[in-house]
Amino acid sequence: MKNELYGKDILDLTELTTEQIMEIIELAVEMKKKPSDYADSLKGKILGMVFAKASTRTRLSFEAGMLQLGGHAIVLNSQDSQIGRGEPIKDTANVMSGYLDSIMIRTYEDAEVAALAENSTIPVINGLTDLHHPCQCLADLQTIYEWKKTFNDVNLVYIGDGNNVAHSLLIGGAKVGLNVAVASPKGFEPAAHIVSQAKELAKETGAVITITDNPDSVTGSADFIYTDTWASMGQEEDKAIRESVFLPDYQVNDSMMQAGASDCKFMHCLPAYRGSEVTASVIDGPQSIIYQEAENRLHAQKALMFKLMKADA
């Protein structure tokens, strides 16, 4: 019997119900504990990975994940393929659908991922775009769940640029009932339409979504404090300007961590820049769970791929 996720596209997590996200998280936890139980579950399946943006964790976790599930992964850099020469996305999508069982794409424009999904007959996974980072969010949710065993009455506070990571945390948090607060300087807030979307989704789960420019107003209740680089890929030329805006109020430091709950944990999707968005004493300190979080990219994506590519999952 075909499972409910088989063949779905995952572009921004809105495609998934609360129950489906929880299934993925619980499966990821199980796969992490008993990897050998799933060693041949995607035997013969092939994932195509398209990269327009540089990658460390996305490539390693997806490729290692497919190998651990008994499948294969093929890397296709856009600059080394016909995609980089302007081949119509319709042609690329149809050809790849004939060769592969799923596509993961890491690129800039969300419209490119949407067009690829629209023209493909196999599931397309958004590995990162300018607006969304859904697979990172699944790993983040798994990490929080491993610590708390629930999302009810759990508070995640994101400090910094209202970027793709913040967007996905808002959507994913709203979906599972996790309270999410985002503190960003004026002019660097999350996109208004995504905030509205998250608040609408939160009505179904009871999650509290908060947007503020005052970190002090939200860190006091934080169970997890999360940050990301202030200059995402493509914004490197603005790094100095952004630092002048974000420092010192939006830097996660020891005093900010101490303001949170007694067992407050620090999270970061990496890469991190010590001395900018976070101090070395925090990211390398006892409250930091960044490497658990990074490892969970592997497990969460294995669970997702298993659900998308195995009919009887």
Annotated binding residues for L-ornithine: 164, 228, 232-233
Catalytic residue of the set 9, 68, 132, 136: 136
Catalytic residue of the set 137, 167, 228, 299: 228
DSSP state of 78: G
**Contacts (Cβ under 8 Å, ≥6 apart) of 57:** 270, 294, 297
Distance of alpha carbon 234 from alpha carbon 80, whole angstroms: 20
Catalytic residue of the set 132, 268, 297, 299: 297
Which segments are annotated as binding site for carbamoyl phosphate? 55-58, 82, 106, 133-136, 269-270, 297
Catalytic residue of the set 9, 68, 101, 133: 133
228 in catalytic set:
yes
Which segments are annotated as binding site? 55-58, 82, 106, 133-136, 164, 228, 232-233, 269-270, 297
Strand order, beta sheet including 179-183: 209-212, 179-183, 155-159, 224-227, 265-268
269 in catalytic set:
yes
Cis peptide bond prior to 271, omega within 30° of 0: yes
Both tokens of 104, joined, read 């993961």
- The DSSP element (H or E) to which 266 belongs, if any, is strand 265-268
Maximum Cα–Cα distance across the chain = 56
Catalytic residue of the set 142, 242, 264, 269: 269
85 in catalytic set:
no
235 in catalytic set:
no
Under a CB-based contact definition with an 8 Å cutoff, are residues 103 and 125 in contact? yes
CA distance readout (Å), 282 to 67, 227, 251, 257: 34, 11, 10, 8
CA distance readout (Å), 286 to 222, 240, 291: 16, 29, 12
Catalytic residue of the set 106, 167, 268, 299: 106
133 in catalytic set:
yes
**Catalytic machinery residues:** 106, 133, 136, 228, 269, 297
